[in-house]
C-alpha cells in the first residue's frame, strides 16, 4: 500500500513525500509526493495532510466511563478503541492505588492482551500508578490505599515481567530505593510521582535508577525552605537532571501554558513525554459524574475535577488534543510535539526499534491529521483501523 502526497512528520523535519507499507511495516519513505505506483498497489492520497507515527501514550486510565481497574476485557476494548481515534496506536493501561487483590486482578485481566490490539490501540504494557505513593500528594488517588512499598506486595506485581512497563512511586517512602532498583532490573520505568520528596530522598533515588517524573508539576513537591536554606523538591530535581524524563499532561489545565514553556525550556527535546492521563471521563459530556476507585469526580468543559474541588482528576484528553495544545498554547514546534508523543515514550518503554517514528522497517503505525488537528485516519501495522 502507498500513502502519497503527505506532509511526513519525521523525527527532525516535516517533508512532503510518500510512504509505502509492506507486511505491516514501513517499506519505503520517499521525498517525492507521488511514489512510483505499480498498477496493482492500493494508493491513498492525503492531499497535503500530515502523516505522523502513531502516538504512544504511557499514562492513560480510561475513557467513556470505563476504567482499567474494572479488570474487564470489554472495558479495555472500549478504552483502546476510543483512544485510537485520537491517534494513539500504542498505550500502557494505567492502574490506580487500590488493594493488592484488585491490582493483581487487573494485571491478570490485561495479560492475555499484552502486545495485542482489540480493534483499537495496541496494549503495550501496564503503568502501575501507586499504591506506593505519598498520602499527602494523593491528588485524585484514594489516600486510603496509599502505602509503603514492601517486597511482599511489589514482588507479585513484578512477576508480570515485561507487562509492567512503568511504576509511579514516591521516592521518600521507606525502602523505595529497593523497589526502584527492582523496577530497573525488570526493564521498567521508575517514575517519581505523587511525592513529597526533597533532595535528601532524591539523590539516592537517582542513584538507584529513578528515570522519570510522573505528570510533572502535578501532585509533587516543589522548592522547600528550612531555616535560611532551600532544597529542591521533585519538580526542580526533575527539571535539573537529564537522567529524568518528564511526563507532561498537555491539556493547558493541569499545567498552564507558562509552566509548560518552563518545562520545554528546561529539558532537552528528548526528555519530555506528552501523556493524556485520561480517565474514564474522557469522551463523556460536560457535567457527567464518575468515580475513580472511591474518588468522586466530574467532567468539566476542559478537563476533569474531583467533586470536592480539591484537585483535578486526570484529564479528558486524547493524544491529538495534547499535541495540539502543546503547539497552540505553548508554542512547541509541531515536529517536536510529535517527537515527544511518539519516539520519546517508545524509547522510555524500550520499544523504539519497533515503533515511534517514520522509519523504514518499523511497524506501520500511522496517524493522518489535517491543519486543524482533526484525525482523518489511523493505521495499525499497515491496517487502517479508523477513518474519519
Positions annotated as catalytic residues are: 277
Cell readout for 215 is: 505528570
Assess contact for 263 and 303: CB atoms under 8 A: no
- Parallel/antiparallel/unpaired status of strands 289-292 and 189-192: unpaired
* Distance (Å) of CA 352 to CA 90, 194, 247, 347: 12, 27, 17, 5
* Distance (Å) of CA 261 to CA 237, 264, 303, 328, 329: 17, 5, 20, 12, 9
Longest dimension (CA), the chain: 77
CA distance 203 to 31: 47
DSSP string, 15-27: EEEEEEEETTEEE
Assess contact for 66 and 351: CB atoms under 8 A: no
Assess contact for 121 and 91: CB atoms under 8 A: yes
- Parallel/antiparallel/unpaired status of strands 289-292 and 295-299: antiparallel
CA distance 144 to 131: 10
CA distance 191 to 35: 43
CA distance 199 to 201: 5
Measure the CA angle with vertex 33, ends 31 and 34; round to 5°.
115
Amino acid at each position: 500500500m502507498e500513502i502519497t502526497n503527505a506532509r511526513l512528520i519525521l523525527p527532525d523535519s516535516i517533508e512532503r513525500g510518500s510512504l509505502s507499507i509492506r507486511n505491516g511495516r514501513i517499506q519505503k519513505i520517499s521525498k517525492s509526493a507521488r511514489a512510483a505506483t505499480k498498477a496493482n498497489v492500493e494508493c491513498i492520497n492525503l492531499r497535503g495532510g500530515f502523516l505522523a507515527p502513531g502516538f504512544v501514550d504511557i499514562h492513560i486510565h480510561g475513557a467513556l466511563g470505563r476504567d482499567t481497574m474494572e479488570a474487564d476485557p470489554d472495558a479495555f476494548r472500549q478504552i483502546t478503541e476510543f483512544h485510537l481515534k485520537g491517534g494513539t496506536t500504542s498505550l500502557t493501561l494505567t492502574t490506580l492505588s487500590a488493594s493488592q487483590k484488585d491490582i493483581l486482578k487487573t494485571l491478570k485481566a490485561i495479560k492475555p492482551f499484552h502486545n495485542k490490539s482489540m480493534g483499537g490501540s495496541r496494549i503495550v504494557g501496564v503503568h502501575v500508578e501507586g499504591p506506593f505513593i505519598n498520602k499527602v500528594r494523593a491528588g485524585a488517588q484514594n489516600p486510603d490505599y496509599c502505602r509503603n512499598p514492601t517486597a511482599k506486595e511489589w514482588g507479585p506485581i513484578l512477576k508480570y515481567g515485561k507487562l509492567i512497563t512503568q511504576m509511579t512511586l514516591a521516592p521518600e517512602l521507606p525502602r523505595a530505593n529497593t523497589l526502584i532498583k527492582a523496577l530497573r532490573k525488570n526493564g521498567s520505568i521508575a517514575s517519581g510521582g505523587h511525592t513529597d520528596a526533597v533532595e535528601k530522598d532524591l539523590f539516592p533515588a537517582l542513584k538507584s535508577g529513578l528515570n522519570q517524573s510522573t505528570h510533572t508539576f502535578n501532585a509533587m513537591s516543589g522548592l522547600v525552605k528550612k531555616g535560611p536554606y532551600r532544597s529542591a523538591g521533585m519538580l526542580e530535581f526533575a527539571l535539573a537532571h537529564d537522567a529524568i524524563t518528564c511526563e507532561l499532561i498537555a491539556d493547558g489545565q493541569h499545567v498552564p501554558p507558562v509552566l509548560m514553556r518552563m518545562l520545554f525550556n528546561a529539558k532537552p527535546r528528548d526528555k519530555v513525554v506528552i501523556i493524556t492521563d485520561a480517565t474514564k471521563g474522557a469522551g463523556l459530556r460536560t457535567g457527567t459524574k464518575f468515580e475513580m476507585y472511591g474518588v468522586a469526580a466530574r467532567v468539566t468543559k476542559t478537563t476533569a475535577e474531583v467533586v470536592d474541588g480539591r484537585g483535578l482528576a486526570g484529564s479528558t484528553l486524547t493524544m491529538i488534543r495534547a499535541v495540539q495544545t502543546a503547539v497552540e498554547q505553548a508554542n512547541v514546534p509541531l515536529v517536536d510535539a510529535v517527537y515527544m508523543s511518539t519516539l520519546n515514550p517508545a524509547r522510555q518503554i524500550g520499544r523504539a526499534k519497533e515503533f515511534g517514528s517514520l522509519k523504514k522497517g518499523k511497524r506501520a503505525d500511522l496517524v493522518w491529521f489535517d491543519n486543524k488537528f482533526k484525525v482523518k485516519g489511523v493505521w495499525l501495522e499497515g491496517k487502517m483501523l479508523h477513518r474519519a
